[in-house]
Structure 1
Amino acid sequence: MKIFIYFIPLFFLLPQYIFSAEPLGISKSRIITTSPALTELLFELGYGNHLVAASHYSDYPEKAKSLPRIGTLFSPGLEKTLSFLPDWVLIDSEATPTHFTRQLAKLQFRYLEISIHSVSDLFKEAEKILHLVFNQTQFNTLDSLKIEFDNHKKRNRPFRFIALAWPSPITLIGGHTFLSDLLTQLGGKNMLPKSLTTPYPQIAIEWILKNSPDYLFILGDSIEQKEETQKLSKIWWPHKNVKVILLPSDRFARTTFGAITNLPILLEKEL
């Protein structure tokens, strides 16, 4: 697998701390996250300083890079986790094995399972973290973000899209994913059938040839990937000018507020 270096365009926002500083009187909890997305989300909520450890690949914001690691994304170490004596373990239900969660429950460690498949889920789960872990009862900043996002939804004209996760074998981003839902709420229509519930389905070339989108999104890390995808689009749909739009993985592969803040900006520039 090639590793590319991708420089983020200047028009991207880097919302490390979407929320203001945490309210006075909040005692500092010892928190562990089991995925990079949850690590980034906790920083966005303004509580990154409560983290005592995180999973591998928790690399954003910069402060997250110095956190001790509890193991890989899909295989957190139980003993390593417990050695930090956490008050809470925030569990990414899509990336954490069930036996890890069962052991935490058996040993009576507090944990909170987080599952995000849509923009609505992101807001609901953020409220859940703020309420259950940090005893917050008002979500004014979340409400403001919802209003801002709703305003963005009204600006884009409708468009049809295919979102490519991997070119060979052809693997698309399904309609039941956070990124697809985000694109859909901003005016897009995922051309994959709604009956296809697999998050990242492998698709036959015959289907690709019969279904030409207005835009082909590629989740990637380099301009080279965009150029290779542009070549593919000309082969797949030689009689239609399908625009290829690169979605940098470090901004859009994670279920965070950074994604819903940055994508409207990108679409306004590209569409």
Structure 2
Amino acid sequence: MVPLTVTDQINRRVAVPFPPKRIISLVPSQTELLFDLGLGERVVGVTKFCIHPAEARKTAAVVGGTKNFDFEKIETLKPDLIIGNKEENYREGIEQLAAQYPVWMSDISNLDEALDMIRRVGLITGRKEKADALAADIATSFTSLETSATSTSAAYFIWRKPYMVAAPSTFIDDLLRRAGFQNSFAHLSRYPEVTAEQLRQMAPQQILLSSEPYPFGEKHIAEFQVLCPSAQIRIVDGEMFSWYGSRLRHSAAYLRSLISAG
């Protein structure tokens, strides 16, 4: 295989054997992308959180979590490409892997960067045409997403005990804005802890409780209704807001359904 030298999304130069034959994905949404690009047979390692497609953890070895890698198992798999993400993986582990293997990293905080990632992954894996077409389809679906821009204030919760929300410079925040929501915590850091009193003071019109990473469910609605009696409180599909791979094919339609139901 002839090496293909590319720049990843954190501006590292990476020499990737082309086309790679033994790929490890350390990010669930990028694992799904690889399979949707027809690369399932080349994916030899995934994390325990790579739940899409269902067969991913059966056909590939599980190499730990997104923030705790099984280095011995990775070594036995002899990967010629590892794909990770700056936010979802941990720096020390990535640096250790990069000392031995080609490691290509994504860094995504908005839709444009997600589409760029899809195209670049297609390029380095020999699936350029398919990836370009996928990115174009996703872009078109969002272009047709008509919203009453920033008309509804919203708080998007990702965790409980302590309460944590998605705020500025996050992929979730970008999709919120595209869906016509104004983030009530836009003045804070990316994933801040917030108190019940802060939530009361902000008084968002809508409170969106994500199904992941914390599994919010119907039983939690009453808890937030006490804090913000006038807010509309909804459980939302976290994958549609935070998975930045091929699942984005469905996100614009999902966001449209939220708008119409609001």
TM-score range, shorter chain: 0.7 to 0.9
How much has 1:44 moved relative to structure 2? 3.2
TM-score, scaled to structure 1: 0.77
Specify the code of the residue in structure 2 equivalent to 1:96: N
- SS at structure 1 position matched to 2:182: strand
- SS at structure 1 position matched to 2:247: helix
Unpaired segments ≥5 residues, structure 1: 1-25
Change (3 A) 1:135 1:261: closer
How much has 1:70 moved relative to structure 2? 1.2
The CA deviation string for residues 42-62 of structure 1, in whole angstroms up to 9 with x for no partner, is: 223332332111111211111
Q: Is the 8 Å Cα contact of residues 245 and 270 (structure 1) preserved in structure 2?
A: no
TM-score, scaled to structure 2: 0.80
Aligned residues: CA RMSD: 2.5
Distance (whole Å) between structure 2 residues aligned to residue 69 and residue 204 of structure 1: 37
Aligned length: 238
Q: Is the 8 Å Cα contact of residues 229 and 244 (structure 1) preserved in structure 2?
A: no
Q: Is the 8 Å Cα contact of residues 141 and 249 (structure 2) preserved in structure 1?
A: no
Change (3 A) 1:268 1:193: closer
Match of 2:198 among 175, 196, 207: 207
Distance (whole Å) between structure 2 residues aligned to residue 46 and residue 189 of structure 1: 37
Residue in 2 aligned with 1:256?
245
Distance (whole Å) between structure 1 residues aligned to residue 75 and residue 179 of structure 2: 41
The CA deviation string for residues 224-257 of structure 1, in whole angstroms up to 9 with x for no partner, is: 944333313332223x2x2112123455443334
- SS at structure 1 position matched to 2:62: coil
The CA deviation string for residues 143-183 of structure 1, in whole angstroms up to 9 with x for no partner, is: 2321121111x245632111112233222122222112111
Specify the code of the residue in structure 2 equivalent to 1:261: H
Residue in 2 aligned with 1:102?
95
Residues 239-250 of structure 1 aligned to structure 2 (within 5 Å): 240=230, 242-250=231-239
- Greater Cα shift, 35-44 or 249-258: 249-258
Residue in 2 aligned with 1:217?
208
Residue in 2 aligned with 1:79?
72
Distance (whole Å) between structure 2 residues aligned to residue 32 and residue 75 of structure 1: 14
Distance (whole Å) between structure 1 residues aligned to residue 153 and residue 168 of structure 2: 12
Distance (whole Å) between structure 1 residues aligned to residue 108 and residue 34 of structure 2: 14
Answer yes or no: is 1:232 the counterpart of 2:223: yes
The CA deviation string for residues 128-157 of structure 1, in whole angstroms up to 9 with x for no partner, is: 1112332626823312321121111x2456
Specify the code of the residue in structure 1 equivalent to 2:191: Y
Match of 2:132 among 139, 147, 150: 139
Residue in 2 aligned with 1:17?
none
- SS at structure 1 position matched to 2:194: coil
Distance (whole Å) between structure 1 residues aligned to residue 53 and residue 240 of structure 2: 11
Residues 43-54 of structure 1 aligned to structure 2 (within 5 Å): 43-54=35-46
Specify the code of the residue in structure 2 equivalent to 1:176: S
Unpaired segments ≥5 residues, structure 2: 1-17
- Greater Cα shift, 96-105 or 75-84: 96-105
Q: Is the 8 Å Cα contact of residues 205 and 232 (structure 2) preserved in structure 1?
A: yes
Distance (whole Å) between structure 1 residues aligned to residue 163 and residue 134 of structure 2: 39
- Greater Cα shift, 51-60 or 40-49: 40-49
Distance (whole Å) between structure 2 residues aligned to residue 105 and residue 234 of structure 1: 47
Distance (whole Å) between structure 1 residues aligned to residue 67 and residue 54 of structure 2: 22
Residue in 2 aligned with 1:161?
154
Distance (whole Å) between structure 1 residues aligned to residue 38 and residue 234 of structure 2: 31
Distance (whole Å) between structure 2 residues aligned to residue 172 and residue 155 of structure 1: 22
Specify the code of the residue in structure 2 equivalent to 1:76: F
Specify the code of the residue in structure 1 equivalent to 2:158: A
Distance (whole Å) between structure 1 residues aligned to residue 127 and residue 77 of structure 2: 22
Q: Is the 8 Å Cα contact of residues 35 and 56 (structure 1) preserved in structure 2?
A: no
Q: Is the 8 Å Cα contact of residues 208 and 236 (structure 1) preserved in structure 2?
A: yes
Match of 2:33 among 22, 29, 41: 41
The CA deviation string for residues 53-97 of structure 1, in whole angstroms up to 9 with x for no partner, is: 111121111121312111222111222112112121101222333
Change (3 A) 1:260 1:142: closer
Residue in 1 aligned with 2:10?
none
